[in-house]
Amino acid sequence: MVLRFYLRLNLMTASFMYNAPCVPFEMSRVALIVVANSINEGRIRDIMSRRGWDVEICHDGDKAVDEYVRIEPDLVFLSLDLPTMNGHIVALEMRETDPSSRVVFVSSKARLSMTMDAAYSSGAVATLVTPITFDSLERKWEEINSDIPEAPGLSDLDALYPDIEEPEPELPPLPPLPSLPPPLVIDPIVVKPKSKKRSKLKILILTILVISGALGIANYLDYIDIQVYLDEVSRLFD
């Protein structure tokens, strides 16, 4: 009697085990950390890992949007100061890509006011103030998992982008200049010094011409009779 009851109990247990519906295991949730600060990054990573979350880290604002599209995280930790793109714009880009994106801003006390404005504009679910601890995140956990608010800054997203000057088109390179002809070689002009003999001869001839001219004028004006002098000269050579 006892043996029959034991066998029936085993058969019922086996039947229940094999016919029970399958309950799938819950997949690990993923958090994307984009805070550009190694200390805050390490603390958030450790805290979320202790909670059983997988963690992905990105250090660039522009790349963070691409990473969000690639891994589709359940939660994003974001700071304002990021390379290449402001965290406010990054959050708006994520909300524009996925309206259900859950963003948590991380801020220092000094920049809390500015971060709160960005959180409101992008519809972030919460803002954490550094230094971040397990307890501080625990106190915000209910708020982090609350309903995702609207993102009023999406309507002004284009105006938030900094003005980017379009690069001027590059001019085509100039053609090479033709080679210059070889320089002309000009023989130097040699000025020969004038001979002293020729100079004296010219002076003598010039003197004779002047004297002859003067005598001719005097003879013409009847001051002297040049014929008399010529006769005397002729007699000397006779």
Q: Is the peptide bond before 173 cis (omega within 30 degrees of 0)?
A: no
**For residue 70, what is the domain's CATH number?**
3.40.50.2300
Structure tokens at 165: 């000057």
**Count: domains in the chain:** 2
Helices 226-237 and 196-220 pack at an angle, to 10 degrees, of 130
233, 124: one domain: no
In a domain, 189, yes or no: no
Amino acid in the structure at residue 85: M
Question: Domain of 46?
Answer: 28-160
CA-based diameter of the chain, in Å? 200
**If we measure between CA atoms, which residue out of 210, 220, 219, 237 comes closest to residue 228?**
219
Percentage, residues of the chain above pLDDT 70: 71
Q: Using CA atoms, how far apart are residues 151 and 91, in angstroms rounded to an integer? A: 9
Which run of H or of E encompasses 33?
Answer: strand 30-34
Q: 20-24, 41-45, 155-159 — which one is most confidently predicted on average?
A: 41-45
User: What's the pLDDT band for 174 if we cut at 50, 70, 90?
Assistant: confident
140, 233: one domain: no
Residue 38 has a pLDDT of 92
